[in-house]
Amino acid sequence: MKSKIIAVLNDIRPEFDFNEPVDNFIEAGMLDSFDLVTLVTSLDEVFEISIDGTDILPENFSNIESILNLLNKYSK
């Protein structure tokens, strides 16, 4: 799942290395609000889920771990 998330992120921002450990993609300037919406729609498509509106919070997309935690909620 992690490699799929990284592939989605690389597709959105190919200029960054999302394999590198980063605390917060947004604070690091790697993702902005436009990217967050793209990320939500891409994750919906790739993982065949529908992320709830209430989960569209920056803290759920701040790094790979937080995205993994979010997706795990939908795979249960």
Partner 1 sequence: MKKVTDFIEINQAVVRIKNYKKKLVTNFFPNREKVEIWISKNQFYTIEIGEVIYFLKKNENFYALFFIASSNEELDKSLLELLVDFSEEILMLDIVQREETSDLLNVFYSKSFNLYTSLVRMNRLNHQVDLLSISTDGVKEASGHHLISLTNILYSFFDEKAEQLPDEKELGNWIENKNVLIYEEDNQIGGFLVYEIIGNTLYLRYWFVHPNFRDKRVGSKLFYEFENKGKDANRHLFWVIRSNENAIKRYKHYGFVEEKMYNFVLTNKNIRYEE
Residues 58 and 5: their CA atoms lie apart, in Å, by 16
CB of 25 to partner 1, least distance (A): 9
* Smallest gap from residue 36 Cβ to partner 1 (A): 8
Q: Which residues of 51-64 are buried (b: 16+ CB within 10 A; e: fewer)?
A: beeeeeeeebbbbb
| Interface positions with partner 1 (CB under 8 A) | 15, 26-30, 32-34, 36-37, 40-41, 44, 50-54, 56
Question: Which amino acid type is present at position 22?
Answer: V
Q: Shortest gap between Cβ of 5 and partner 1 (angstroms)?
A: 18
